[in-house]
Amino acid sequence: MITSARLERVACAVLLGASLFAPAVLVCAPRVAAAVDNEPKPYALIFGTVWGADNRPIHGVPIKIRRADQKKAKWELLSDHRGEFAQRLPAGTADYIVWADVKVAKGKEKPQVLVHVENDERKDISLHLTE
C-alpha cells in the first residue's frame, strides 16, 4: 500500500530530477540543433603507400606534407601496417609536397612527390624508398 509520505517522497524526487534535467536540455538543445544543421566541410584527400626497395609496403615511416609555397611541414603522420597513410587537406586548388622523413645518404634527396589538388578530390600516390 502506498502511503502519503511515500507518495510525497516520490513526487519530490520526480520534481527534483525534472528541475535538474530541464536546464541541461535548455543549454544543450541549441548546440544539438546547430550540429544537425551544419554540413560537413568539403576536403581534399591525399592517400598514399610507402614501398620499400624490395617492393613491399613499409609500416611506421614518418610522412610529412606541406604546401609547395611553404617551407615547413604542416601535417605529419605515420604509415600504417599496410604501408598506407591518408591526410585530409583543405578543399581548393593547391600544390602539396609529400615526403618520407627517412635518413638518406649524403647528397641524396628524401623520396618526395608533388601532388596537385583541385577542390575536394582524392589523390592516390606512392613513395618508393631506395634503401
Structural contact between residues 71 and 101, judged by C-beta atoms closer than 8 angstroms: no
Structural contact between residues 116 and 95, judged by C-beta atoms closer than 8 angstroms: yes
pTM: 0.69
Structural contact between residues 85 and 77, judged by C-beta atoms closer than 8 angstroms: yes
In this structure, of 28-37, 56-65, 116-125, the range with the lowest mean pLDDT score is 28-37
Structure confidence at residue 21 (pLDDT): 61
Domain ranges, ordered by start, for the chain: 1-38, 43-128
Tens-place pLDDT, residues 103-130: 888 888 888 999 999 999 999 999 999 8
In this structure, whether the domain defined by 43-128 belongs to CATH 2.60.40.1120 is answered with: yes
d(CA 58, CA 127): 10
Tens-place pLDDT, residues 12-31: 666 556 666 656 555 555 56
| List of E strands, 18-121 | 43-51, 62-67, 75-78, 84-90, 94-100, 112-117
